[in-house]
C-alpha cells in the first residue's frame, strides 16, 4: 500500500518553508523508517498553495505537470538552505464565499489520489486545511508566519529570520542616523500583532516601539524624543508596527483592497510619523519601511531547525493517523494541537505583561 502525501505552502512566503518541505519528504521516504511502517509513502509538491489544488485539471497532463511536482530525497537535498518557497505560494481561499471553489479542491484531491495534505502556513492557510478536514480530507498543518500571531504554538516558521533582518537593518541604520543626528522611524510587518515590532525593537535596542495592541499619542512620542535628545545621544530609532494606530483612530492602509481572506493591505504609518516628528519637534527625521525584506533571505539556524522538526513531526502524525491537527512547539517540546483550536484567532501582545505604556517600549520588569 502506498500513501500519497501532497505538501503545499500558503500565504506569505518566508525562510523555513523549504526546510519543512524537505523534511516532510526525507522523513516520508526514509528507507530505514520505511522498514518499520505498514505503508509506503509518495510525496508530491503542489505549486502555489491552495490555488494549485483549485486550479489543477487532473485530466490534463500539462496542467498536472505545472501544478504538481513529484518530490524525492535528491530533489529536496539542498532546499533547507534557501528562503522563499520552491513550491510557490498564493493567498487563494477556496472557501471565499464570493467564489467558493472548495468542491473543486475536494474533487481534485480525490481524483489525484491524494491521501493526505500537509499544509504549511498561517491561520488563513490552516483555516482552509481545517475546513477540508471537516469535509473528510485528511490534513495536517505546519505553522508558519513571520507575524508570530498563530495560536496553539510557541513558534511559527519565519519569525526568527524576520527578527534577525529587523535587528541587522536597524544596526545599519544606527551608523547613518548617528552621523546625521537624525530620527529614524522603522516600519515592521506583523499585521494586527506587535510581536515583530516589539521583539525586533527590543533586540535592536530601539528607543521607542509602537505596537497595534497599544494605540499611541503623538505628543508622548515627541516628549520622549525631546527627553532623549536633551540627554545623551543625538539620534533615535523608533520602531513602528504597520498595524499600530493613534489613539482613537484606525490603522493605516495602502489602499482599499481586501485579499481573498478579507485582510487589508496595511502600511504607511512610518511616513506619517516621521513627517509629524520633523514638523513638531524640529528634529530631522527619516523613515524606512522594511517591508518584504523581512521575509527574504536565507533561514536562520532556528528556522532551519524548527523546519526540520516540524517536517518530521508532520510525518509522525501521518503515521499515527493524527489528522486535523497542527504541529506545534510548546514549552520547549514538539507536539500537536487540533486545528479547530487555532482558527479564527490570533495571538497578540499581552500589553500588561510585555509592554511599558509610559516608555513606549518593552517592559523593564520581567519576573
Residue closer to ligand F6P, measured from CB, 16 or 190: 190
Would you state the cell numbers that stand for residue 299, as one nine-digit string?
Answer: 533561514
Instruction: Tell the smallest beta-carbon distance from residue 53 to ligand F6P (Å).
Output: 20
Residue closer to ligand F6P, measured from CB, 163 or 177: 163
Exposed, middle or buried, 49 (CB in 10 Å: 0-12/13-18/19+)?
buried
Instruction: Tell the smallest beta-carbon distance from residue 360 to ligand F6P (Å).
Output: 21
Instruction: Tell the smallest beta-carbon distance from residue 194 to ligand F6P (Å).
Output: 11
Minimal CA–CA distance to 19: which of 90, 82, 88? Answer: 82
Instruction: Tell the smallest beta-carbon distance from residue 230 to ligand F6P (Å).
Output: 35
- Output the CA–CA distances (angstroms, integers) from residue 258 to 54, 144, 149, 153, 155, in the order listed: 20, 21, 20, 27, 27
Where on the chain is the footprint of ligand F6P (CB under 6 A)? 12, 145-147, 189-191, 242, 266, 295
Cα(168)–Cα(224) distance, integer angstroms: 24
HSE (CB half, 13 Å, CA atoms) of 178?
8
Instruction: Tell the smallest beta-carbon distance from residue 205 to ligand F6P (Å).
Output: 22
Among candidate residues 147, 149, 160, 303, the one labeled active-site is 147
Would you state the cell numbers that stand for residue 237, as one nine-digit string?
Answer: 530609532
Which residue has cell 505628543?
A: 219
259 among known catalytic residues: no
- Output the CA–CA distances (angstroms, integers) from residue 8 to 97, 102, 117, 150, in the order listed: 22, 16, 8, 18
Residue closer to ligand F6P, measured from CB, 83 or 324: 83
Residue closer to ligand F6P, measured from CB, 261 or 354: 261
**Which single residue brings its beta carbon nearest to ligand F6P?**
189
Residue closer to ligand F6P, measured from CB, 116 or 162: 162
Which residues are catalytically annotated? 147
Amino acid at each position: 500500500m502506498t500513501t500519497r502525501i501532497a505538501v503545499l505552502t500558503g500565504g506569505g512566503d518566508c525562510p523555513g518553508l523549504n526546510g519543512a518541505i524537505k523534511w516532510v519528504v526525507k522523513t516520508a521516504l526514509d528507507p530505514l523508517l520505511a522498514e518499520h511502517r505498514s505503508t509506503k509513502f509518495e510525496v508530491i509538491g503542489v505549486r502555489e498553495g491552495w490555488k494549485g489544488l483549485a486550479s489543477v485539471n487532473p485530466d490534463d497532463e500539462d496542467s498536472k505537470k505545472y501544478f504538481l511536482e513529484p518530490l524525492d530525497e535528491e530533489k529536496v537535498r539542498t532546499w533547507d538552505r534557501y528562503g522563499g518557497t520552491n513550491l510557490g505560494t498564493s493567498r487563494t481561499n477556496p472557501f471565499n464565499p464570493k467564489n467558493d471553489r472548495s468542491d473543486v479542491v475536494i474533487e481534485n484531491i480525490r481524483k489525484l489520489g491524494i491521501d493526505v495534505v500537509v499544509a504549511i502556513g498561517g491561520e488563513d492557510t490552516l483555516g482552509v486545511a481545517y475546513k477540508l478536514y471537516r469535509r473528510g480530507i485528511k490534513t495536517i498543518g505546519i505553522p508558519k508566519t513571520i507575524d508570530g500571531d498563530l495560536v496553539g504554538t510557541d513558534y511559527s516558521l519565519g519569525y526568527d529570520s524576520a527578527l534577525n533582518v529587523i535587528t541587522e537593518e536597524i544596526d545599519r541604520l544606527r551608523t547613518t542616523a548617528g552621523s546625521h543626528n537624525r530620527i529614524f522611524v522603522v516600519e515592521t510587518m506583523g499585521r494586527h500583532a506587535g510581536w515583530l515590532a516589539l521583539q525586533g525593537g527590543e533586540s535592536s535596542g530601539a528607543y521607542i516601539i509602537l505596537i497595534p495592541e497599544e494605540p499611541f499619542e503623538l505628543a508622548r512620542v515627541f516628549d520622549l524624543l525631546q527627553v532623549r535628545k536633551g540627554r545623551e545621544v543625538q539620534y533615535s530609532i523608533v520602531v513602528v508596527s504597520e498595524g499600530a494606530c493613534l489613539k482613537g483612530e484606525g490603522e493605516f492602509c495602502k489602499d482599499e483592497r481586501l485579499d481573498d481572506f478579507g485582510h487589508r493591505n496595511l502600511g504607511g504609518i512610518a511616513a506619517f510619523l516621521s513627517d509629524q516628528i520633523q514638523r513638531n519637534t524640529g528634529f530631522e527625521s527619516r523613515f524606512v519601511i522594511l517591508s518584504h525584506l523581512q521575509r527574504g533571505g536565507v533561514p536562520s539556524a532556528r528556522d532551519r531547525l524548527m523546519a526540520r522538526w516540524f517536517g518530521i513531526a508532520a510525518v509522525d502524525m501521518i503515521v499515527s493517523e493524527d489528522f486535523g491537527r497542527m504541529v506545534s512547539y510548546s514549552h520547549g517540546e514538539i507536539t500537536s494541537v487540533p486545528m479547530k483550536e487555532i482558527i479564527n484567532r490570533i495571538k497578540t501582545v499581552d500589553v500588561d505583561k510585555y509592554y511599558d505604556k509610559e516608555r513606549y517600549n518593552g517592559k523593564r520588569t520581567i519576573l
